[in-house]
Amino acid sequence: MDSIICDVVPSIRGENKLVIEGHLMVKDRSRNNTYYWYCEKRFTLFCGARAVTKFDRAISNIKERTHQTYDKPARIIQDTTSSILQEVHSCLLSRGALQQTIQRIRHSDLPAEPQFLDDLDEFQNILCKGCHFHLAQNVYRRVQTVGLTTRYSTDENFSLLIRQLPALAFLPSNEIPQAFNQLKNIMPIEAIGPLFPPDLWSVVDNIESHIPRTSNPVEAWHRRWNTLLGNTHLGVFRMIKEIQKEQNQVQLDIESVIRGAPHPPQRRHNREHEARIQRI
């Protein structure tokens, strides 16, 4: 009797059928890990073909894990085939063929890729804002670049003038150009207009809406995101699925806030600093 690798497929009634070289077999009986099958055309065409299998579900387990996880093919194959029977292992496909099977399954699970820009939905009602911390940091880096670090550290009036530049962000965006021109006239060095529009780095809207003025929360979320994914090279479709999971988590957090769950406590220094800015 020849030993060949075969597959199991579900029927419309939810029963398993055995596929052997394109022919379907129906389960007759089983004993331990041994299954006995007969041809599905036994009663219509009086086919007497039979089969005996040592069923291990190795291929089925590989397919199920491929659908359910994003583990690497080598990990799926190793975990699935390490504990199967020797007689079953000898009939399995090669590792290369199993890896191609996993890749075909994952490719079939992917939605159709967009072909045109019109196929992509744009994000609506998105407000882009810069980070005020990095604004102040870049102002000081500019001071260092032009060789004014010593003067900035020793000349209090000069230091105050320089610090007024990032302070412009606390004005409404439509008032920033006029205020900048006033500072420009009293600056001891030549001042060049901002490279980015004021509405990008003005923090007035942030303060009124109680939105963070810096990107610290975003950077904290990004560190958490990297920890959750555990991988630096991700496909776009896996990224989309993970973002959908994150969206569900955010919705749960929003519901908790609506129900009155307490916010994480702030440090005293941060609370006092925020209170002073709100009073201004």
- Dump pLDDT digits (tens) for 19-72: 777 778 877 777 766 777 778 887 888 887 777 776 556 777 788 888 877 778
Number of residues that this document lists for the chain: 280
Q: For residues 135 and 153, give the distance between their C-alpha atoms in angstroms, rounded to a whole number.
A: 19
11 shares its domain with 77: yes
Contact present, 54 and 34 (Cβ < 8 Å): yes
Question: Do 144 and 94 share a structural domain?
Answer: no
What number is the average pLDDT over the span 221-232?
A: 79
Is pLDDT of 240 > 70? yes
Number of domains, the chain: 3
246, 199: one domain: no
Q: Evaluate whether residue 127 is within a structural domain.
A: no
Same domain flag for 13 and 98:
yes
Buried b (16+ CB within 10 A) or exposed e, 204-241: bebeeeeeebbbeeeeeeeeeeeeeeeeeeeeeeeeee
- CA–CA–CA angle 94, 98, 99 (5° rounding): 115
The parent domain of residue 62 ranges over: 7-109
The three-class DSSP label of residue 235 is coil
- pTM for the complete prediction? 0.49
